[in-house]
Structures are given as structure tokens and as C-alpha cells.
Amino acid sequence: MSVLDSKVPKGPLKTKWTDYKNHINLVNPANKRNIDVIVVGTGLAGGSAAATLAELGYNVKTFCYQDSPRRAHSIAAQGGINAAKNYQGDGDSTYRLFYDTVKGGDYRSREANVYRLAEVSANIIDQCVAQGVPFARDYGGLLDNRSFGGVLVSRTFYAKGQTGQQLLLGAYSAMNRQIARGKITPFNRHEMLDVVKVDGKARGIIARNLVTGEIERHSAHAVVIASGGYGNVYFLSTNAMGSNATAAWKIHKKGAFFANPCYTQIHPTCIPRSGDYQSKLTLMSESLRNDGRIWVPKNLEDVKAIREGKKKPTDLSEDERDYYLERRYPAFGNLVPRDVASRAAKERCDAGYGVNATGEAVYLDFASAIQRYGIEQAKIHGINNPSADKTYELGAAIVKAKYGNLFQMYEKIVDQDPYKTPMMIYPAVHYTMGGVWVDYNLMTTVEGLYCIGEANFSDHGANRLGASALMQGLADGYFVLPYTIGDYLSHEIRTGKIATDSPEFDEAEKSVKDRIDFFINNKGQHSVDYYHKRLGKIMWEKCGMSRNAEGLKEAAKEIKELRESFWKEVNVPGSANEMNPELEKAGRVADFLELGELFAKDALVREESCGGHFREESVEIGGEQAGEAKRNDEEFAFVSAWEYKGEPGDAVLHKEQLEFNEIELKQRSYK
């Protein structure tokens, strides 16, 4: 059994990070000029890390498969970013953000990392404001905040419904400054296909130029993986179709342990699928649940009439509607945690109350908010007894100011005006909390190989909260990695330039080319998408919101059979020496097939209900599924070293005693 050393410093949680920084090894500014760092991925985590490392004086190479870092999937984040500023004066603090994040992760997070995250969160906002990120502001000019599900304070900073895009533009502008100075060399339209280890240390990568097909060698003193999550293992998810697991999976197969692969966040507010032809799903920000009310008809006759087009949702009176979240969870109402909202929507739809043609949708209704805001605005403007039309006009203007781009996006996709008829939403795979195992320094189990942002496992546990992803990505990139990587690089100042003509680079490049040649020359019967869709169907049905032992065993078996068929029957058109999207997809789906099998086996080991993962063997209460979150005073990280085309190794349980025992533990019921 492998022993993992998390390298968490001694001492109280609230002083760990400060004391650690005070005693960490540093690199002299003159020596930083002689040290190279590779950053794979240029989203919020990778972009902020690259910009900060270059600002410090390191020579940085960045790699992304998109045509520009501005295309990173971080732009898709809508609702906001958490920070413990307490601008609302509602009792927020570093401790409360830490507490909510650990509790929201069902106590599966590494607490030292989470406290550090809460600690630096306030700095993130200051950094981004200095970069010109246009956060929303209140009437007095102060930064505004809104609420997100699962917490009792307003701590989420936002820029309408495009927070991720605005934050990414801030990081991108910081990168551009370093590109102009020559401290960052960008390699856009490049995909990392392997990591190169020399004497046990990460010393570079093999990358493919996606435009020309050329295979390239790049060396560095340290490699940072910031390639995002693996939600596309489900095929249909809120992720861009290009989002993939390849970089993280390649380093896993070179010895970097994977942790918590089955921890996946299901987002409750997504536009429902409309047919089998779809390649992705679209997220509607959780911030909409601040003002939108979720409901389904109370009577199945009304459901049938709506599906057949004989009734409109606006035809139903309040008494004919079931605001089921408000009914079941009066304390949080529509702002319950994401897993609770997701399971409740699925339960209603499974019971036959789904309102769209596929029976997989519930309503998110803004009529009450428009009416409420309209009455308030009429009073502010001194309008007595406003007409219904005037009330609607004033209220809709407020809703438009808060969520306008989201409403516009919904109308373009669904062809319905959400100001006048309720939105339809349904849960979908969103964020992945599992990933590459890292220690307190964000280093993997391979020396000199770091992993940050969504690609690692450290901060989220079985997360049920929103607005945490952007916080972790920027915390890792701006404020954590630049400190911790210096401790490692301080021992590399005499190493000199890393050569790329070594046997290790030769071997890694040959392996990459052999795999590409296989795909091009294998004349099978099925497309890459054929296998990806079949994998996604298995994952959603048997490794989705609800899981049971029998289904997970079937999933592992079916994925293994699908993987074997893939290697025999996949067909990739085109050649290797050109831009070939099908070739790119083939490599990524091959990795998803391996990851999917590990995912199912990890989920099988976890017999408890936690986060977004409901284990069906749990008790039933009142005819509805209900789970009780069991929790041991240990952190479980499922780890496996998987040889190429081999079988998963034995599960290694990483047990780390929780240090913060003041947290009050309460059993949760989903009734």
C-alpha cells in the first residue's frame, strides 16, 4: 500500500498558511531568469498561474488546444465567485466561508487547503478589480453580492451572468503583458499528449501542433497541469465539447495518483435536452434561483395538457402549482444546495410531472420576482396605483439588469421568452470535484509535477455549493502555486537547461506517435462519437445522480467491453499531418473510456450517500428517496495507478485525521 504525504504544515488552521509562507524556500530573482516552467491549460487557474509566475521572473511556456486562451471553458462560468469580504454586513468571515465549503463538501475536503482558500479569497477580488474586471456594483458604488444555494450569507461577486468570461479576460490581460515582455511563450492550438519524466522528475511534455500535426518536445524544470475537469466523460454535460481529461490522465498513467474520480457535481439549472442529436447542454446560472421559483403542476392532468400543447404554464393558478422546494425545504427554499435541488427535480420528473416533451424538465418562474420588483420600483418612482403593464415593465427592467444575458441566451436556444413564460430546466453534469491527487504544495505524487484548479481534487470534497470553482482556480494560480513551486525550484537553480534529446524524450515521443499511427491506420466500423455517446449513456444511467452496487458493477463491465470494442473498431478519417479534429477526439475518448471504468469502480467502493451521489441502497422515507450522509473522521481518497491498457490497481484508501474537530456534525436527510 502506498503512503501519501499531504505535507500539511503543523499548527492551528488559521496560521498554517502564513507560518508556512514565512519559512518556505525562495528563489532569488536573478535565478528565476534561468528556470523554465510549463503550464498546460490557460483557463482561470492556468492563465493566472502563468501570468504570476512570469511576473515573478520565471520563463513560462503555456499550452492550450484552443486558438486563444480567451476560449478556455472558464468563460462559461456564469453566476459568480465567492469571497469572504462581508460587504453585506451579514456575518460573513474567513471561518464561515471555510465552514460552509467544508460542510458543502460533505466533510470530504482537505481542511487545511480549504482554510487557505477562504483566507486568500478576499485577495482574489482585489486583484481582479485592479485588473479592471467589471464586477456588479450597488447604488453607492461598492461591489455587489448575491446569494448562492446552500449558504445563509451573500458572498458571491458577479458580473451579470458572465463572471467567468470577465475574470478570464482579466487573467488573459495579465498574460498578454508577460507575452509582450517575452516572459511567456504561448503555444496555442497545441495539445499535451504525454509528460516526460527524467530520474523520477517531470522535465517536460510531448505536444502535438493541432494545425500542422507536428509532434513537439518541450522541456522545463517543472510542469503545471491546469487542464480543467472531465465532465465530458458523460458526453452530455455543460462543458464545451473540447473539454477533456487527456492531460490529467496522461500524468496519472505516469505515476500521478487520481483521487475521488466519482465525485461529480450535478447542476440543477440547465436547459433540458431536446433530442438524441445534441452534443452538449447549456447551463443556466444558479443565481437565477435567487429570484426564480421552481415548480411543477400539482395534477398529472395539467402535465399531460401542457405536454400536448393544450395548456400553457401561465394558465395554471398558484393553487394548481407545486413549488416543491419551498414546500420541502422552507429554510432554504429555492436556494437549497445543488444536489438537493437536482435530486428533487429528478424525483418529480420520474414521478411523471416533467413538463417538456421528453418528461425531463421543471419550471423556473420569474413572474413573482417581476411583480415584486415592479411594485417596489413604482413606489421608488412615486407612481401610485400602477397598471399591471407598468408594474411588469418596471419589474422586468430590474430582472433584465440582473440576468439579461442569461434570458437572452435561453430565448435563442429554446425560442421562448422567459420574461413571459417560465424557463424549463433540468439537472446536468457540471463540475468535477475529483481529479489528480496533490499535496499541500499542489504537487502530485510525481516530483516537479503540479496540478491546479478543477484538474486537482483538493478543495471541494463532494461539493454541493456554487461559486467555488472560480475561487479555487484563481486562488491556486494567483496566490498559492507561485509560493509553493518556489520551494521546489529553489533546488533547481544549478540544474541548467533541460535537454530534449534524451532517451526519456525519445521514448515518450515514440509512444505518442505509435498511438496516433494506430488511430489513423485502424479501419474500424464506428466513429469516435459512436463510442463517446455510448459511454455517456452508461455513465448517466448507472453512475449519475442515483447509484447502486448492481448498476455500478454493470457499468464497469460494460465500459470495459466498450473500451475493448473501441480499440478494435474505431475509425478515424484523415491523416496525422494536418488539422484533424476526429484524431483529437479519438485520443480524448480513449482516455475517457479508461477514466470511466475507474470512475465506476470508485463509486462502487463508496457505499454512502454524499454530495451529489445518492446511493440507492439507503432507506426510503415517506415513499421518497432519502439518504443519510455517513461520515468518518477520515478523508478518503481513492487512488489508482493504471498501466496503459491495463487493469486498475487496488484501491488505496488515503486516511488523514481531520484536524478541526470544532465542526458540529449533523446527519442530513433528503426527505
The Cα 666–Cα 671 span in angstroms is 15
Work out the end-to-end distance of the chain between its first and last CA atoms, rounded to an integer number of angstroms: 39
The Cα 560–Cα 596 span in angstroms is 9
Segment 326-369, tens digit of pLDDT = 999 998 899 888 888 998 999 999 999 999 999 999 999 999 99
Contact call for residues 205 and 223 (beta carbons, < 8 A): yes
Segment 91-141, tens digit of pLDDT = 999 999 999 999 989 999 999 999 999 999 999 999 999 999 999 998 888
- Residue that has been written with the C-alpha cell 444575458 in this structure: 405
In a 3-state reduction of DSSP, which class is residue 621?
A: strand
Predicted confidence band of residue 182 (pLDDT cuts 50, 70, 90): very high
Q: Is residue 591 part of a domain?
A: yes
The Cα 273–Cα 49 span in angstroms is 36
Predicted confidence band of residue 464 (pLDDT cuts 50, 70, 90): confident
Average model confidence (pLDDT) across the chain: 90
Give yes or no: residues 273 and 408 share one domain.
yes
Give yes or no: residues 278 and 381 share one domain.
yes
The grid coordinates of residue 340 equal 438537493
CB atoms within 10 A of CB 84: 22
Question: Phi/psi at 278 (nearest 5 deg)?
Answer: -70, 145
CATH of the domain at 309: 3.90.700.10
Burial of 251 (C-beta count, 10 Å sphere; 0-12/13-18/19+): buried
Give yes or no: residues 534 and 407 share one domain.
no
DSSP 628: B
Specify the pTM: 0.89
Q: Is residue 96 part of a domain?
A: no
Question: Phi/psi at 365 (nearest 5 deg)?
Answer: -110, 130
Q: What is the separation of C-alpha 192 from the centre of its chain, rounded to a whole number of angstroms?
A: 20
Reduced DSSP (H G I as helix, E B as strand, rest coil) percent helix, strand, coil of the chain, to 5: 40, 15, 40
Give yes or no: residues 408 and 285 share one domain.
yes
Predicted confidence band of residue 637 (pLDDT cuts 50, 70, 90): very low
Segment 237-274, tens digit of pLDDT = 999 999 999 999 999 999 999 999 999 999 999 999 88
The Cα 50–Cα 74 span in angstroms is 15
Of the candidates 256, 206, 224, 285, the one whose C-alpha atom is nearest the C-alpha of residue 45 is 224
Of the candidates 237, 273, 143, 574, the one whose C-alpha atom is nearest the C-alpha of residue 430 is 237
Select from 427, 449, 468 the last residue of a domain.
427
Name the strand (E) or helix (H) holding 473: helix 469-474
- Active-site residue numbers? 338
What residues have CB less than 8 Å from 202, skipping those under 6 apart? Answer: 195, 196, 222, 223, 251, 446, 447, 448, 449
The Cα 453–Cα 46 span in angstroms is 8
Q: What is the DSSP string of 510-556?
A: HHHHHHHHHHHH-B-SB-HHHHHHHHHHHHHHHSSSEE-HHHHHHHH
Return the pLDDT at 667: 28
What residues have CB less than 8 Å from 579, skipping those under 6 apart? Answer: 210, 211, 212, 213
Give yes or no: residues 423 and 526 share one domain.
no
Segment 216-239, tens digit of pLDDT = 999 999 999 999 999 999 999 999
Contact call for residues 64 and 41 (beta carbons, < 8 A): yes
Domain count, the chain: 2
In a 3-state reduction of DSSP, which class is residue 128?
A: helix
Of the candidates 605, 658, 615, 610, the one whose C-alpha atom is nearest the C-alpha of residue 630 is 610
Return the pLDDT at 611: 80
CATH of the domain at 555: 1.20.58.100
Segment 37-89, tens digit of pLDDT = 999 999 999 999 999 999 999 999 999 999 999 999 999 998 899 999 999 89
Give yes or no: residues 538 and 420 share one domain.
no
The Cα 428–Cα 232 span in angstroms is 11
Of the candidates 500, 593, 4, the one whose C-alpha atom is nearest the C-alpha of residue 256 is 4
Return the pLDDT at 617: 67
Give yes or no: residues 273 and 420 share one domain.
yes
Contact call for residues 532 and 236 (beta carbons, < 8 A): no
Give yes or no: residues 555 and 413 share one domain.
no
pLDDT of 620 higher than 60 = no
Q: Is residue 7 part of a domain?
A: no
The Cα 23–Cα 319 span in angstroms is 64
Question: Phi/psi at 25 (nearest 5 deg)?
Answer: -70, 145
Q: What is the mean pLDDT of residues 453-467?
A: 91
Q: Which ranges of 285-425 would DSSP assign to H, the alpha helix?
A: 300-307, 324-328, 338-348, 367-380, 388-414
Burial of 244 (C-beta count, 10 Å sphere; 0-12/13-18/19+): buried
Q: What is the radius of gyration, based on Cα positions, of the chain?
A: 25
Q: Is residue 649 part of a domain?
A: no
The Cα 209–Cα 190 span in angstroms is 5
Contact call for residues 362 and 296 (beta carbons, < 8 A): yes
Name the strand (E) or helix (H) holding 25: none
Name the strand (E) or helix (H) holding 63: strand 59-64
Q: Which range marks the domain in which residue 294 is found?
A: 269-427
Q: What is the mean pLDDT of residues 582-596?
A: 98
Return the pLDDT at 654: 30
What is the bridge-based pairing of β-strands 423-432 and 362-365?
Answer: antiparallel
Q: Is residue 242 part of a domain?
A: no
- Residue that has been written with the C-alpha cell 488546444 in this structure: 65
Of the candidates 379, 365, 480, the one whose C-alpha atom is nearest the C-alpha of residue 425 is 365
The Cα 613–Cα 609 span in angstroms is 6
Q: Is residue 399 part of a domain?
A: yes
Lowest-confidence segment of 385-389, 571-575, 605-609 by average pLDDT: 605-609
Q: Is residue 281 part of a domain?
A: yes
Select from 394, 427, 460 the last residue of a domain.
427
Q: Is residue 543 part of a domain?
A: yes
Segment 151-180, tens digit of pLDDT = 889 999 999 889 999 999 999 999 999 999
Name the strand (E) or helix (H) holding 424: strand 423-432
Give yes or no: residues 419 and 547 share one domain.
no
